[in-house]
């Protein structure tokens, strides 16, 4: 049996793990229908809400954004949040039931194993959500304000999901030390909603709060891809990617550190 695998074989291995959630999602039509329903409903409610807000203000522009900008931004923000699987719960369940030990019996890297499956799930859900939510927004306010924002937004989205993966995995691994991870999950979710700009763009915040929020990782996950999509320019692209990569290094390091400690703890004390 081959012991040292070539890069091609490694790609083959994690590529196969990436494809499984795609196939799984395709096999479950119900999953697709429910994703479409949720996304359509969310974007419809947002559109009604923001149409009313803009009408009440009697203006076409709030904090430099039009209604069209705001809705396409919110679509991207929802896309980040609604396309990810519940990785933290998956990891914490495997710790609580002890099944994590059996995962270690495969010749797989713990981080890459979860990352490839996470990416497969996200890829599928993101396509479905983008089509469903995009159709609603397009119908209500017309096409995106700047098509050239699509490629930078896709780049930023991939890094955003990378960051979100780290947060989810860190929360899940906390189950090694605390029985219940729901407190961490709750805190992370609420901070993401507020400081990430899920409910409204950070541009609408008081300037001091927006300035603080923009440099935090939550904005790199939720705010950055959407803002880049509706208002792309080279300067914004560079600063967004630099900040995202910086946080990815920090959170990636934290994940490696914590997963290393957790697995050592598992092998010494059985979890």
Write out the residues near another protein by the rule CB under 8 A. Answer: 1-3, 5, 9, 12-13, 15-17, 20, 23-24, 27-28, 99, 101-102, 104-108, 266-270
Q: CB of residue 268 vs another protein: minimum separation in angstroms?
A: 5
Q: CB of residue 217 vs another protein: minimum separation in angstroms?
A: 32
* 26's tokens: 């395709």
CA neighbours within 13 Å on the CB side: how many for 101?
Answer: 10
Q: What backbone phi and psi angles, to 5 degrees, belong to 62? A: -120, 125
Residue (107 or 206) nearer to another protein, CB? 107
Distances (CA, A) of 77 to 198, 257, 265: 6, 29, 37
Residue (20 or 183) nearer to another protein, CB? 20
How would you write 149-199 as a 3-class SS string? HHHHHHHHHHHHHHHHHHHHHHHHHHHHCCCCCHHHHHHHHHHHHHHHCCC
Q: CB of residue 99 vs another protein: minimum separation in angstroms?
A: 5
Residue (107 or 235) nearer to another protein, CB? 107
233 dihedral zone (left: phi>0; alpha: psi -120 to 50; beta): beta
Q: CB of residue 106 vs another protein: minimum separation in angstroms?
A: 6
Distances (CA, A) of 107 to 103, 118, 119: 9, 18, 20
Q: CB of residue 12 vs another protein: minimum separation in angstroms?
A: 5
Residue (2 or 235) nearer to another protein, CB? 2
* CA dist., res. 183 & res. 149, Å (int): 36
Residue (68 or 96) nearer to another protein, CB? 96
Q: What backbone phi and psi angles, to 5 degrees, belong to 197? A: 85, 40
Distances (CA, A) of 35 to 137, 168, 197, 246: 16, 20, 22, 32
Residue (49 or 266) nearer to another protein, CB? 266
Residue (15 or 246) nearer to another protein, CB? 15
CA angle 173, 249, 113 (to 5 degrees): 45
């Amino acid at each position: 049996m081959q012991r040292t695998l070539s890069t091609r074989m490694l790609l083959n291995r994690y590529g196969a793990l990436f494809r499984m959630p795609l196939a799984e999602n395709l096999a479950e039509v119900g999953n697709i229908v429910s994703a479409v329903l949720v996304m359509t409903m969310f974007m419809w409610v947002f559109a009604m809400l923001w149409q009313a807000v803009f009408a009440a203000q009697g203006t076409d522009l709030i904090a430099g954004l039009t209604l069209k900008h705001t809705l396409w931004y919110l679509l991207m923000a929802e896309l980040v949040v609604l396309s990810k699987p519940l990785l933290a719960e998956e990891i914490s369940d495997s710790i609580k039931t002890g099944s994590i030990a059996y995962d270690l019996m495969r010749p797989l890297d713990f981080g890459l194993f979860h990352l490839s499956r996470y990416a497969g799930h996200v890829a599928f859900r993101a396509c479905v959500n983008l089509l469903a939510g995009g159709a609603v927004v397009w119908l209500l306010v017309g096409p995106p304000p700047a098509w050239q924002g699509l490629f930078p937004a896709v780049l930023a989205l991939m890094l955003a999901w990378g960051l979100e993966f780290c947060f989810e995995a860190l929360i899940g691994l906390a189950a090694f030390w605390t029985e219940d991870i729901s407190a961490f999950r709750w805190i992370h979710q609420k901070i993401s909603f507020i400081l990430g700009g899920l409910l409204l763009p950070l541009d609408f915040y008081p300037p001091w709060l927006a300035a603080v929020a923009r440099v935090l990782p939550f904005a790199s996950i939720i705010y950055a891809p959407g803002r880049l999509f509706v208002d792309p320019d080279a300067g914004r692209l560079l600063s967004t990617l630099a900040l995202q990569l910086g946080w990815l290094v920090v959170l990636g390091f934290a994940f490696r550190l914590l997963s290393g400690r957790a697995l050592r703890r598992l092998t010494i004390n059985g979890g």
